């Protein structure tokens, strides 16, 4: 684990936070089973949460431990239960087949909820302009969950002595670190659970001050991993969200390091973008990002093996010199883009059924699907491909050649994203989906 760091605090403003589902595994708590008396669990004051934070625009992230929030009191639970309207911002398709991004606002009063919705649209516009988001916008639904605060703005903005009464408790100067924007993660979970299927949770805190955080050790009962925070109205706060999704969706490691960590001597990391192997060894052993070695990368330079990453300055290598997993404001490198696209498809299907698949269709009825531009569609009848129907988004069983013989038949479509940005065959398997309909006699 990276060392705990403390940066001199600054003032904060109306915080705009983005609580993002960051890819992080929750350490499971094991129940004591001894028949004799067992030790009491650690009091809430002794529990901590590990967070990643950003010292300034373009800076490298750091980590620290902050106190965990106490369980919600009945009065707080009742307040949240009566709050939290869910407002659609982008509806690309059913939640079951799309990646659902949920924004929750903090520091917005009842009269400022439309301002929150406008901030969500603006923030998502900037996030979705970053590749590979830009090429895969059709995979995302976006929702806003209204959390009504008693006061506008957030604590710690503009100074450490500023205190605001907000729905989620957003606060700069968290643990004495000015740019660290913390929230009550129990409240975040309660609001996020109001959305049907949150995959990525983004909490916008109503502020123009730079700051944010990524809670890297939280897995939600609602299904998302981790929480990230960022201010709503700072021009570069969206980069905090993008970096955190590298963890949550791409399952990517941080590519920065701390000099005090020295030399890595552990096992080969499981993340796709760090390795103990040099470029020559990656290629020779066909490991990790070997398929990309020697290729020019969108974050600049050539894919190879650059020493330093995963918090260690020596003994671990990263694919490129300076991607967004090392420095905010940069691009994802080629291995990172590959991992992100695969992550999108873990939550979202390549193709969406316009005609429901859970009911039989008649031989003359139209079957429709929706897929992004460039996705290949291959139709089949009883497992036999019908080539004349390739890439059509609507067909009829009769036109496909389903006979009127009184027997049961099936019509299927196989959809494949042909992108060359994903080379690993194991990841490419995520880029294909099949839908099937039963045709009535």
Whether 39 maps to a domain, the answer reads no
- Asked if residue 133 and residue 242 are part of one domain, the reply reads yes
- Asked if residue 358 and residue 231 are part of one domain, the reply reads no
Whether 305 maps to a domain, the answer reads yes
> Looking at residue 28, what is its pLDDT?
31
Whether 302 maps to a domain, the answer reads yes
Q: Is the dihedral of CA 144, 147, 151, 156 positive or negative?
A: negative
Q: Which of 183, 213, 248 is the last residue of a domain?
A: 248
- Asked if residue 209 and residue 74 are part of one domain, the reply reads yes
> Looking at residue 56, what is its pLDDT?
73
Whether 21 maps to a domain, the answer reads no
Whether 422 maps to a domain, the answer reads yes
- Containing structural domain, residue 149: 44-248
Report the distance separating Cα 196 and Cα 267, nearest Å.
39
> Looking at residue 223, what is its pLDDT?
80
| Tokens 């959305």, located at residue | 195
> Looking at residue 13, what is its pLDDT?
31
Counting the structural domains of the chain, the total is 3
> Looking at residue 58, what is its pLDDT?
66
- Asked if residue 231 and residue 98 are part of one domain, the reply reads yes
Whether 32 maps to a domain, the answer reads no
> Looking at residue 27, what is its pLDDT?
30
Whether 384 maps to a domain, the answer reads yes
Instruction: Give the pTM.
Output: 0.85
pLDDT digit of tens for each residue in the chain (441 aa)? 444 333 333 333 333 333 333 333 323 332 333 333 334 444 444 789 999 988 777 667 888 999 999 999 998 999 898 898 999 999 999 999 999 999 999 999 999 999 999 999 999 999 999 999 999 999 999 999 999 999 999 999 999 999 999 999 999 999 999 999 999 999 999 999 999 889 988 889 999 999 888 887 777 888 887 788 889 999 888 888 899 889 989 999 999 999 999 999 999 999 999 999 999 999 999 999 999 999 999 999 999 999 999 999 999 999 999 999 999 889 999 999 999 999 999 999 999 999 999 999 999 999 999 998 899 999 999 999 999 999 999 999 999 999 999 899 999 999 999 999 999 999 999 999 999 999 987
Ordered DSSP codes for 106-136? ES--GGGHHHHHHHHHHHHHHHTTSTTTGGG
> Looking at residue 15, what is its pLDDT?
34
Whether 181 maps to a domain, the answer reads yes
Show the tokens assigned to 137: 């916008």
CATH number at residue 424: 2.60.40
- Asked if residue 88 and residue 57 are part of one domain, the reply reads yes
- Asked if residue 199 and residue 81 are part of one domain, the reply reads yes
> Could you tell me if 155 and 162 are in contact, meaning their C-beta atoms sit under 8 angstroms apart?
yes
CATH number at residue 139: 3.40.390.10
- Asked if residue 200 and residue 71 are part of one domain, the reply reads yes
- Asked if residue 96 and residue 179 are part of one domain, the reply reads yes
- Asked if residue 358 and residue 219 are part of one domain, the reply reads no
- Asked if residue 320 and residue 281 are part of one domain, the reply reads yes
219: β partners: 225
Q: Which of 217, 248, 279 is the last residue of a domain?
A: 248
- Asked if residue 190 and residue 338 are part of one domain, the reply reads no
Q: Which of 328, 346, 364 is the last residue of a domain?
A: 346
- Asked if residue 269 and residue 334 are part of one domain, the reply reads yes
> Could you tell me if 303 and 336 are in contact, meaning their C-beta atoms sit under 8 angstroms apart?
no
What angle is formed at CA 348 by the lines to CA 253 and CA 145, rounded to 5 degrees?
85
């Amino acid at each position: 684990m990276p060392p705990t760091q403390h940066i001199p605090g600054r003032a904060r403003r109306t915080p705009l936070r983005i609580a993002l589902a960051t890819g992080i595994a929750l350490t499971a708590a094991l129940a004591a089973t001894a028949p004799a008396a067992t030790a009491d669990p650690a009091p809430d004051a002794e529990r901590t949460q590990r967070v990643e934070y950003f010292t300034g625009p373009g800076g490298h992230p750091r980590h620290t431990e902050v106190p965990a929030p106490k369980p919600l009191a009945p009065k707080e639970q009742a307040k949240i239960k009566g709050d939290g309207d869910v407002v659609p911002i982008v509806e690309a398709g059913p939640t079951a087949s799309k990646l659902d991004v949920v924004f929750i606002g903090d520091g917005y009063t009842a009269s400022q909820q439309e301002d929150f919705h406008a901030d969500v649209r603006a923030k998502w516009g900037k996030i979705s302009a970053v590749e590979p988001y830009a090429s895969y916008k059709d995979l995302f639904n976006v929702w806003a969950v209204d959390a009504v605060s008693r006061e506008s703005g957030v604590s710690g903005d503009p100074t450490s002595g500023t205190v605001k009464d907000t729905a989620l408790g957003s606060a700069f100067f968290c643990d004495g670190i000015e740019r660290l924007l913390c929230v009550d993660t129990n409240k975040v979970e309660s609001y996020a659970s109001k959305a049907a299927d949150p995959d990525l949770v983004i909490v916008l805190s109503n502020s123009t001050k730079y700051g944010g955080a990524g809670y890297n050790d939280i897995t939600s009962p609602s299904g998302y991993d981790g929480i990230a925070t960022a201010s709503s109205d700072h021009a570069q706060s969206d980069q905090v969200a993008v970096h955190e999704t590298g963890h949550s969706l791409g399952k990517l490691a941080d590519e920065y390091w701390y000099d005090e960590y020295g030399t890595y001597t552990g096992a080969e990391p499981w993340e796709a973008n760090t390795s103990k192997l040099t470029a020559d060894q990656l290629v020779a052993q066909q490991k990790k990002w070997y398929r990309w070695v020697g290729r020019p990368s969108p974050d600049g330079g050539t894919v190879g093996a650059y020493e330093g990453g995963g918090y260690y300055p020596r003994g671990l290598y990263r694919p490129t010199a300076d991607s967004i997993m090392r420095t905010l404001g940069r691009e994802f490198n080629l291995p990172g883009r590959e991992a992100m696209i695969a992550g999108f498809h873990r939550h979202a299907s390549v193709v969406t059924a316009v005609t429901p698949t859970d009911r039989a269709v008649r031989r003359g009825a139209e079957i429709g699907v929706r897929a992004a531009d460039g996705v290949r569609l291959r139709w089949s009848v009883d497992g036999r491909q019908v080539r004349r129907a390739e890439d059509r988004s609507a067909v009829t069983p009769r036109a496909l050649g389903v006979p009127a013989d009184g027997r049961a038949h099936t019509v299927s479509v196989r959809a494949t994203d042909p992108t060359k940005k994903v080379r690993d065959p194991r990841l490419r398997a995520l880029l294909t989906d099949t839908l099937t309909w039963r045709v009535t006699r």
